[in-house]
A and B are shown apart, each in its own frame.
Chain A
Amino acid sequence: MDFGFSQEQEMLRATARKFLENECTSTFVRARMAEPAGVTDEFWTKLAEQGWLGLVYPEEYGASGLGFVDLVVLMEEMGRASMPGPFFSTVVLGGLAILEAGSAAQKKEWLTKIAVGEAKVALAWTEPSARWDAAGITATAKESAGGVALDGTKLFVLDAHLADALVVVARTREGARPEEGVSLYLVPKGTRGVEVKLLPTMDQTRKACEVTLTDVRVGADALLGAKDGGFPPLMRVIDRATVALCAEMCGGAQRVLDMTTEYAKIRVAFGRPIGAYQGVKHKAADMLVDVENAKSLTYYAAWAVDENVPDAPLAASMAKAYVSDAFRKVSATGIQLHGGIGFTWEHDLHLYFKRAKSSEFTFGDATYHRERVAQLIRL
């Protein structure tokens, strides 16, 4: 058993940290928060130049062809910087869906474009029912002349307003089980009947949309993967995206711990640095325990989904359950230990506190994943 990162992975971490410290400053993040886009073309181009937009896609698509653990390293650093923009939605969600389910031609077309920064793709999966299981998929795809017609409402769709294409999850058939009869469609931007509305969200560093599909006609070539067979590949994408999100959350939690530790060393009360008092020191220690355990479960899950071992879904759920609680607690304690300054808009802590909240409810919160763990261990 080897928990270490390779030399190349440590280099990737160092490069990413330096790049983000220079390019993704607090000022940059706050400017993006205030705008609908959440990203600039210049910044997106720089991510492409680093090779990060195609990090995990095969080299035949002009991409870097690295492994999932490399992506986890990068996501941790992006979380540390509270990086805004559609990296996660495009590279991990939309891109992996195409990689997982797409035909050779679809992969060639879209992954090549994503890798160089020419296309963004969002995943339109969840609906107003806010369910994470197959039964939550009620948008329909019905046969129509030469293709299908899509109808339904998709909610909490990350960065749909920026996307050049949407991967729409729809029901093509009522099966014996809800997992049957789900299909994926690639819907290009501007297709008639697609309405995208940006939602005002607590976490302004992450933009979420409502997507309404009204008699959206697409051709037969829009089908991504097997008809009625879309759910298994979707779940493989979601398990990996869940672990990537956990890594991002770990990076954010570590940053909060670092900020809090530094502050506790310099902030003086009653004649001593507050970190000397056990009331503060012990809370900081608990934060460290949460962060370390969160990383342990995330790293193991990263390896498990990368190797596609049988307990990969269990590992992903264990990580998401733990990390959801850990980031929420750590970011809240960070504010508490900073006192009044931690509650100001000016201080960056609230960015992490809000990111913890939006991430907590993405792909299921701790309660959802604990139940999934209970099922997977056959309790």
Chain B
Amino acid sequence: MDFTLTPEQETLRADVRAWLKLNMPEGWTHGSTITSDIPRPEAYALMRGWQRKLADASFIGLTWPKEYGGRGLTFMDELIVHEEMALAKAPPILNVLGVGMAGPTILAYGTEILSCEEIWCQGYSEPNAGSDLASLETRAVKNGDSWVVNGQKVWTSLAHIADFMMLLARTDPEAPRHKGITYFLLDLHTPGVTVKPLRQMTGDAEFNEVFFENVRIPGSQILGGVNDGWTVGMTTLMYERLALGFGLQVRLRIALDALVGLARRMPKNGRPASEDPVMRQKIAQIWIDTESLKYTGARAITKASAGKLTWVETHQRLQELAMELEGPYAQLVAGSDRAIDGGIWQHTFLRSRANSIEGGTTEIQRNIIGERVLGLPKG
């Protein structure tokens, strides 16, 4: 057991820190940095540029092999980079799905050369296939050397700005549910793809409905073989939880630092809320839970669902506490000059309700732990 960094890791940390000092994008303000959730639409342009810059400096795809544009480093190195970005309050990575999920999956199953410029989205959920993903109905039918896709996806984050989709479609309706699904890499600029943004309770539209009408995909765009898509898709989900496990801890740390700042500024019974014994208890517990997430993430990659559950519960509690600290001011949103921090907390609070639904609901995560970690019988 040893928590000290190697000299190489210390050097990497110093490099990232120095680089961030010189390269923080202009126009990245404190107001937008305290958001702990995925990027807001107005920041997309800035973030595309930021991603390009990070890629040029080789801070993206650290764990990918060198021949595919990566650096062949370890997840621990990646964690160091993420941590430094958080400490510097740098913008997050827009193409989180591409870097964290599509990239590793393609590396595991294919040989495609990747660039960090495209934005990826994940075409999994459908109106009748959410938690029960294997019941998906989008059809792909073979036609010569290509496949023709018809159907619909929903809750597809970033589809409105994405270039590619990791698409699961049914290719053999006669086969058992898990055996008739194929994993495609779809160029979203293909004719027949329609993306309709869905407005969510925050007022933003960061996810979408995606409709496919006779969309033609070359057979070369299949990953892992025809009817083998379920296994590939589960690999992606594993990487999702891995990538998120690192990323989430960092996002939580950013939000927590902001919360501590808020507690020092908001009054409670005539003194700063940070001096109130009850508030101190609640903040300290969030601090402890955030630290536990960091260490559990480092220890138990196979128990990633445990990390997601801890993260969701802690983050939602943090956002609730931000509202409690603001008191009646919690009602005021962006647009009021009396809103605290420009109303950003109201946005992150509302957004946090999705945390326990997206990327596998809390209930599904508990099923995974119960069945795959504890070995309890399937329901």
| A positions within 8 Å CB-CB of B | 1-6, 69, 257, 261, 264-265, 272-273, 275-278, 280-282, 284-286, 288-289, 292-297, 299-300, 302-304, 318, 321-322, 367, 370-371, 373-374, 377, 379
- Complex contacts, A284 vs chain B, CB 8 Å: 369-370, 374, 376
> Is B287 within 8 A of A373, CB to CB?
yes
**Interface 9-residue window, one of B119-127, B140-148, B288-296:** B288-296
Q: Is B29 an interface residue (CB 8 A)?
A: no
**CB distance B306 to A292 under 8 Å?**
yes
Interface code B264-300, partner A: CB below 8 Å = 1, 0 otherwise? 0000000000100100110111011101110110111
Which B residues are CB-close (under 8 A) to A321? Answer: 284-285, 288
The total number of A-B Cβ pairs within 8 Å is: 146
Contact A261–B379 (Cβ < 8 Å) = no
What distance in Å separates the Cβ of A125 from its nearest Cβ neighbour in chain B? Answer: 24
Main secondary structure of the interface of A (DSSP, over half): helix
Q: What are 16 A-B pairs at a CB distance below 8 A?
A: A4-B1, A5-B1, A282-B363, A285-B365, A285-B366, A292-B296, A293-B296, A293-B310, A295-B299, A296-B300, A297-B291, A297-B295, A318-B287, A321-B284, A377-B284, A377-B287
Interface residues in B240-273 by Cβ distance below 8 A to A read: 260, 263
- Separation of A3 and B281 alpha carbons in the complex (Å): 28
Residue of B nearest to A367 (CB): B281
Specify which chain A residues have a CB less than 8 angstroms from the CB of B367 in the assembled complex: 278, 281-282, 285
Contact B3 A286 (CB under 8 A): no
A286 / chain B contacts, CB cutoff of 8 Å: 309, 366
> Would you call B2 an interface residue if the criterion is a C-beta within 8 Å of the partner chain's C-beta atoms?
yes
* A273 cross-chain contacts in B, Cβ below 8 A: 376-377
Chain B nearest CB from A325 CB (Å) reads: 9
The size bracket of the interface on B is 35 or more
Partner of A318, one of B1, B288, B299, B310: B288
- Of A3, A272, A275, which contacts B1 at CB under 8 A? A3
Residues from chain A with Cβ under 8 Å of B373 in the complex: 285, 288
Write the chain A residue with the least CB distance to B373: A288
Q: Provide the bound-state CA to CA distance between A289 and B3, in Å.
A: 22
Asked whether A276 lies within 8 Å of B376 as measured between CB atoms, the reply is yes
Cβ B288 vs Cβ A370 within 8 A: yes
Cβ-defined partner of B260 (8 Å) among A265, A304, A379: A379
How many angstroms from the CA of A3 to the CA of B377 in the assembled complex? Answer: 30
B377 touches A379 (CB 8 A): no
Which A residues lie within 8 Å of B5 (CB)?
A: 1
Q: Which of B340-379 contact A (CB under 8 A)?
A: 363, 365-367, 369-371, 373-379
Residue B76 CB within 8 A of the other chain: yes
Residue of B nearest to A306 (CB): B1
Nearest-CB residue, chain B, relative to A257: B374
Residue contact B295 to A300, C-beta cutoff 8 Å: yes
Residue of B nearest to A379 (CB): B274
Q: Which residue from chain B places its CB closest to the CB of A294 in the assembled complex? A: B292
Report Cα–Cα, A371/B378, bound state, in Å: 42
Cβ–Cβ < 8 Å partners of B283 in chain A: 374, 379
Q: Decide if A275 touches B287 in the complex (CB within 8 Å).
A: no
Q: Please state if A69 and B1 are interface contacts (CB–CB under 8 Å).
A: yes
B296-314 vs A, Cβ < 8 Å mask (1 yes, 0 no): 1011100101100110000
Shortest CB–CB separation between residue B261 and chain A, in angstroms?
11
